[in-house]
Amino acid sequence: MANDILLKIEGLRASVEDKEILKGVDLTIRKGEIHAVMGPNGAGKSTLSAVLAGKPQFTVTAGTIEFMGQDLLAMSPEERAWAGIFLSFQYPVEIPGVTITNFMKTAVNAHRAGKGLEPLKAGDFLKLMREKMAFVQMKPEFAKREVNVGFSGGEKKRNEIFQMAMLDPTLAILDETDSGLDVDALRIVANGVNALHTPEKAAIVITHYQRLLDYIVPDVVHVLKDGRIVKTAGKELVAEIEEKGYDNL
């Protein structure tokens, strides 16, 4: 059914500093689906996630992206967030001087303002923070820490999933969320993503390796190579890639 479609990418081409990275990507994602995008380094996986989130340094030269019936490419990064898109960064950015509490309060209230809602009361906000931090096993004292400053790799990724839980997006894009994680952190992060998933939502899991997909099981697997999706299949493709490598696809 057409109205099941959350995201529709057609003929997407994108460049950074005049170098074309995406060379015609088509991708349709329906409600309830988890898609894995796999591929070798330099294939354009992170570019795809950056373009979806609206990173200004990337230029879309051709194609369309429709998200819940809206023209995504006409929207600013913050408008995309309000519309329900969330990008979990491969390298979460450190923001010296801004505490997680202040950061999330600004973000949550910006989302609410986007929906015409009043700012959350201080007590309700702190309760929500505590609940979501516990959800990814972040210690309460992290609320007072500066965003990602001095965090270990695992702490940064848990902080990403914590923010995802706070903002409750319709489409989550997880860019190499498994990189730099030990197995315990990987499990916490994956459990978080799975618990947030509902039949109304969707996720794109971008990864180089099978590892994360043992925990977050995809419905559809795509292989991105040299800026194009060269193969699409069910989850069985993951094992095939692991066995044969990307070169023999």
Q: What residues line the site for another protein (CB under 8 A)?
A: 53-57, 76-78, 80-82, 86-87, 89, 92-93, 95-98, 102-104, 106-107, 110-111, 114, 163, 167
Residue 206 vs 213, nearer CB to another protein: 206
Burial call 105-134: b when 16+ CB within 10 Å, e when fewer: beebeebeeeeeeeebeeeebeeebeebbe
Residue 49 vs 207, nearer CB to another protein: 49
Q: Please name the residues in contact with 236: beta carbons below 8 A apart, sequence gap of 6 or more.
A: none
Closest approach, Cβ 95 to another protein, in A, equals 5
Residue 54 vs 192, nearer CB to another protein: 54
Closest approach, Cβ 189 to another protein, in A, equals 18
Residue 60 vs 98, nearer CB to another protein: 98
Q: Please name the residues in contact with 58: beta carbons below 8 A apart, sequence gap of 6 or more.
A: 14, 15, 16, 21, 47, 50, 51
Closest approach, Cβ 57 to another protein, in A, equals 8
The alpha carbon of 217 is separated from its chain's Cα centroid by a whole number of angstroms, namely: 15
Q: Give, in order, the Cα–Cα distances in Å from 93 to each of 19, 53, 89.
A: 24, 15, 8
Closest approach, Cβ 53 to another protein, in A, equals 5
> In this structure, how many other beta carbons lie within 10 angstroms of the beta carbon of residue 71?
10
In the DSSP assignment, the letter for residue 91 is S
Residue 118 vs 236, nearer CB to another protein: 118
Three-state secondary-structure class, residue 77: helix
Residue 88 vs 221, nearer CB to another protein: 88
> In this structure, how many other beta carbons lie within 10 angstroms of the beta carbon of residue 64?
13
In the chain, helix, strand, coil percent, each to 5? 40, 30, 30
Closest approach, Cβ 113 to another protein, in A, equals 9
Closest approach, Cβ 94 to another protein, in A, equals 8
